[in-house]
Structure 1
């Protein structure tokens, strides 16, 4: 099946929280999509006559006729907010590709697994956990999900149900604050500290840990694991962090120039501006799907000048040496000349 020509038809949608919806799709040919649990889908939609592509983790199971995507409303989130506000049953979207190195098939794991998620970061690890429960009955699974409060728990009924139906699945909910006087089963309040991890996950060094959440949450968990002396060879993570397209730049650096000779493009921009934002504002042919440096769709080549990149996840050492960078994860530091392909 060619993903570039695969249409998904929305079958139904369901509100998970006040700002998060689950969308249930079926391929137009009613045939299942094959993917690795934990991977994301590159979804293409047309908004105001312009094609937009974004990456969303798949929360359902592979080789199933129904594909579930759970999408959260975000500030200035063009595609996510459009899907929540406008997409209705029987409407179609297009699948550009399915990708992602953060998956349960390509990453070796031990007999004990700890999944840690926060907010909408639950989607890929939820898919992984269900896959293991269906295919690996000897794996012991601990699932720690973090949410702002009781009203913002994604899959609030499904996770306790998994724990009831599977003796090897253990669920813990960690809330930032509690808004009800009635405590939820398996829940607690507070940050995920080294003390919390060591107290709740005995012999944590025996686990393989899969983590997905916001950038700040990811940093906090990583620091906690380092404090505990966890072997990071058994730690895998995915992070989708979307920068605001309306960021205000306040600095003393002079402006810089971004040029793309093959498209007769040249623009003066603020120092430290995000390269993807620059290219998109110039209506240049570049796809910013995940916008977090994990899918590789915005790869470009820096022919001259300097950018600072926070992610080179999908680039080979040879490509990096040749000047290739991911535009979504790069900020311009000097005048630069860019090539697009």
Structure 2
């Protein structure tokens, strides 16, 4: 059998010089480039500061787990975090469970704003990671991802992402219909903060998109909402949002 292979394009790769702090985020077989880059840093023997986050269906699905644990056991500045959705039968799992969310990113890497982020995995997974980082105020110029699509040779051939990034200088407004109140704001203000400033009471709890206490119905306009499980897809389809983690994009009206 003959196979045609081409060399790396060096687009999704580490810089040749300079010490940086890295956050590698991967899922499924997307662990491959993160594993290669971590191995390179380990073999080079220079200062290493890597937080390695990998998401899998079960612990048994974590690729190269022993190799990663071996490197981390010898270099304390390589920090491994595995997140699984299900346990292995008849084996105890003491790590994180569920799906990666904003809360986990903050707990795993409290200094994520200082890190260079490399992400690889299925497209929906990478879309979700980008949404989380944008909502957390991360500088997306320091975000890099590797898609499973056709290979590209130049950076201008990379696919363009239609991400919604709230602009702190862009004007927005929220109309509270039943209260006959309209408040001006910017795209980086949350609906909850604007409501409080306008004297509108919205019950709230966690203020991080988990508890669902601040659920309100949007009747017009668009918001950028990145929640952490506090609202169902059915509620979203019916126009509901979580005020604590929703930011108005332009003019928005609420049933309040």
Which bracket does the TM-score occupy, shorter chain normalised? 0.5 to 0.7
Residue 110 of structure 1: CA displacement? 5.5
Deviations 1:110-169 (A, max 9, x none): 621111111111111111111011225212111111101122111121111111121221
Structure 1 CA distance, aligned partners of 2:158 and 2:97?
Answer: 34
Gaps in structure 1 of 5+ consecutive residues? 1-91, 241-291, 298-310, 315-341
Structure 1 outlier segments of 4+, above 4 Å? none
- Please give the secondary structure, in 2, of the residue aligned with 1:94: coil
Specify whether residues 191 and 312 from structure 1 end up closer, same or farther in structure 2 by C-alpha distance, changes over 3 A only: same
Matched, 1:157 2:2: no
Which residues in structure 2 correspond to 1:109-124 (within 5 Å)? 111-124=20-33
Cα separation, 2, equivalents of 1:132 and 1:195: 28
Displacement after TM superposition at 1:95 (Å)? 3.9
TM-score normalised according to structure 1 size: 0.42
Q: Which residue of the partner structure matches residue 104 of structure 1?
A: 14
Between the aligned partners of 2:49 and 2:68, the Cα distance in structure 1 is: 15
2:53 aligns with: 144
User: CA shift at 1:99, angstroms?
Assistant: 2.6
Root mean square deviation of aligned Cα: 2.6
Return 5+ residue gaps in structure 2 as ranges.
160-256
Of 125, 135, 148, 1:217 maps to 125
For residues 267-319 of structure 1, the C-alpha deviation after alignment (integer angstroms, 9 at most, x for no partner) is xxxxxxxxxxxxxxxxxxxxxxxxx143369xxxxxxxxxxxxx9428xxxxx
Separation in 1, partners of 2:141, 2:45: 22
The alignment's TM-score, normalised by the length of structure 2, stands at: 0.56
User: CA shift at 1:183, angstroms?
Assistant: 3.5
SS at match of 1:157: helix
Answering whether residue 146 of structure 2 is matched by residue 238 of structure 1, we say yes
2:222 is the alignment partner of 1:313: no
C-alpha separation in 1, matches of 2:12 and 2:18: 12
The structure whose RCO (Cα within 8 Å, separation 6+) is larger is 2
Q: Distance in 2 between matches of 1:110 and 1:137?
A: 9
CA distance in structure 1 between the partners assigned to 2:113 and 2:22 by the alignment: 11
Alpha-carbon contact 2:69-2:80 (below 8 Å) kept: yes
1:296 & 1:179 partners in 2: Cα distance?
A: 40
